[in-house]
Chains A and B, each alone.
Chain A
């Protein structure tokens, strides 16, 4: 029988960290930080997701293939979002090629 790679202690610390981050994001939410509010909320959510993926889902302890699969999925989502937003965010720009 293989010794489990992750101990109960690690799981417990991850669990507590997740609760702490949830609390943090909620408290920070009460501040009005303008556009940064969303940025911070999503950043904290990303940190929580990383904790869940790396520890609860063992991603940190699995083979390289699995980490590549995980990275690939995230990158593809980012491709979809960034190229789509690229259209929307440049719609207001005016193309000035000179002339009248």
Chain B
């Protein structure tokens, strides 16, 4: 919070006109805005990230409940473990890069200044070494949530548990080898660019494995279309589109054409909003009964999920076209011919915004007036559903012992109270 306070102060008291990427030499030698303050704020924030990563890694390694072996862990934990690995390996590099920016500005020593033998591209290397894994920090927890929701609402074990678990680790590892794809037009060597391009193709593979496994989980499942499931399925589709357009960007020739255009913006918003934010909303709805002890109103929740989905696509699909047609990113004004698509995008954004605000209202409403939730309203497997809603201070009155496989819906059918219906 301290870090956030400092950063927000920097943003509001003055501006940070280098943008979040702090590219040198503008950020170090020429900018007169609150760069140093913002850098310091983010640096402070980094401590919290690192402490979280250390905490999660130590906990997952040595503080599991009795009987909870690695391959009995929910995929949520595997993905959070992978995320924590990225936390601890990437964040310190951002920290030192920001420190170098701050030192260069305060002491005027020109670490990235070509006049002193410095190289601005070196800054980019160090910055993107963190910032690419950072996007996997953002998407792995979302995938974690989806991996929990889909088995629960398809009443089926997650297809290919080990494949999904190892894919999470694969994404974390491979995510560190691709940062150069943010620098294809920055002046790196062509050989370096080719290597990073190839590696960027590889990193798509574990994500694709997860998409196939989620789909296979739904296949021949007993699917209920509750709100969390709507968001999760939305995630799978939209993340796939976002991910595939990433491959477009990994191709060197294509990237030269669409880099720094709206195509890139559409790509990462399909993953971040169509992906991560929708998974986040799905997770909020999924665990809402556990956290608040109340059920949210299902009807309006479904409506708002649909609104989000429609609004999102209307906002960002036109941006793929805009980018391909050549509209650059980070421009305030654009030529006439781009107007129609921009207007469509804005209309979509309004709808999307409305879809976001709706849960704010009905979730808060439900906290006070919603129906009481039982411990396991979704009839899902997972230790969190074996404790009351909301959980007591120690989570469990008695530390549970786990001696069953995860997502074992068949074996736990009776225990969960699942009724086999006549049509199947």
Contact (Cβ within 8 A) B189 A83: no
The B-contacting residues of A in range 68-100, CB under 8 angstroms, are 72-73, 76, 79-80, 83-84, 86-88, 90-91, 93, 95
Determine the main DSSP class of B at the interface with A: helix
Q: Does A31 contact B (CB under 8 A)?
A: no
Complex contact A79–B177 (CB within 8 A):
yes
A1 is an interface residue with CB less than 8 A from chain B: no
Which residues of chain A are within 8 angstroms of B189 by Cβ–Cβ distance?
87-88, 90-91, 93
- Report the bound CA distance from A79 to B125 in whole Å: 12
- B129, A87: Cβ atoms under 8 Å? no
Q: How far is the CA of A4 from the CA of B239 in the complex (A)?
A: 53
A76 and B125 within 8 A (CB): no
Given contacts A76-B89, A93-B189, contact A87 B61 (CB under 8 A): no
Instruction: Looking at the assembled complex, report how far the CB atom of B166 sits from the nearest CB atom of chain A, in whole angstroms.
Output: 16
Separation in Å of the B334 CB from the closest CB of chain A? 34
Interface string of B85-129 (1 = CB under 8 A from A): 000010001000000000000000000000000000110011001
- Residue of A with least CB distance to B85: A72
- Residues of A near B125 (CB, < 8 A) are 84, 87
Chain A residues near B246: list those with CB within 8 A: none
Q: Chain A residues with Cβ under 8 A from B179's Cβ?
A: 83
Contact B93 A87 (CB under 8 A): no
Partner of B176, one of A65, A79, A87, A91: A79
CB distance from A69 to the nearest CB of B (A): 8
If A65-B61, A87-B180 touch, does A80 touch B129 (CB 8 Å cutoff)? yes
**Contact of B188 (CB < 8 Å), options: A73, A87, A93, A95:** A87
From residue B136, how far is it (CB to closest CB) to chain A in Å? 14
Cα(A72)–Cα(B90), bound, Å: 13
B177 and A87 within 8 A (CB): no
Q: Is the CB of A90 within 8 A of B192?
A: yes
Q: How far is the CB of B397 from chain A (nearest CB, A)?
A: 30
User: Which parts of B138-181 form the interface with A (CB within 8 Å)?
Assistant: 176-177, 179-180
Check if A90 sits within 8 Å of B177, measured CB to CB.
no
Decide if B191 is an interface residue (CB 8 Å cutoff).
yes
Question: How long is the Cα–Cα vector from A93 to B180 in the complex, in angstroms?
Answer: 18
Contact size range, A: 10 to 19
Q: How far is the CA of A86 from the CA of B81 in the complex (A)?
A: 30
Partner of A80, one of B61, B93, B195: B93
Contacts of B196 in A (CB 8 A): 83
Give the docked Cα–Cα distance between A66 and B413 (Å): 40
Q: Nearest Cβ distance between residue A39 and chain B, in whole angstroms?
A: 22
User: What is the CA–CA distance of A11 and B126 in the complex, to the nearest angstrom?
Assistant: 38
CA distance A73 to B121 in the complex (A): 24
B190 close to A (CB within 8 Å): yes
A71 nearest CB across to chain B (Å):
13
Identify A83's interface contact among B61, B121, B177, CB under 8 A: B177
A91 and B176 CA atoms in complex are apart in Å by 22
Per the bound structure, the CA–CA distance linking A87 and B126 in Å amounts to 12
Chain A minimum-CB-distance residue to B130: A80
Closest to A69 in B: B57
Chain B residues, CB < 8 A from A65: 61
Residues of A within 8 A of B126 (CB): 84
> Could you tell me the distance in whole angstroms from the C-beta of B180 to the nearest C-beta in chain A?
7
Give the residues in chain A near B129, CB-CB below 8 Å. Answer: 80, 84
Nearest CB on A from B111, distance (A): 15
Count chain A CB atoms within 10 A of each CB in B61, B191, B195 and give the residue with the most: B191
- The winner among B121, B129, B189, B190 for most chain A CB atoms within 10 A is B189
**What chain A residues lie within 8 Å of B93 (beta carbons)?**
80
B50-75 CB mask vs A (1 if < 8 Å, else 0) is 00000000000100000000000000
Known: A72-B89, A73-B89, A87-B189. 10 other contacts (CB 8 A): A76-B89, A79-B176, A79-B177, A83-B177, A83-B192, A84-B125, A87-B121, A88-B189, A90-B190, A95-B190
**B residues at A contact (CB < 8 Å):** 61, 89, 93, 121-122, 125-126, 129, 176-177, 179-180, 188-192, 195-196
Interface residues of A (CB under 8 A from B): 65, 72-73, 76, 79-80, 83-84, 86-88, 90-91, 93, 95
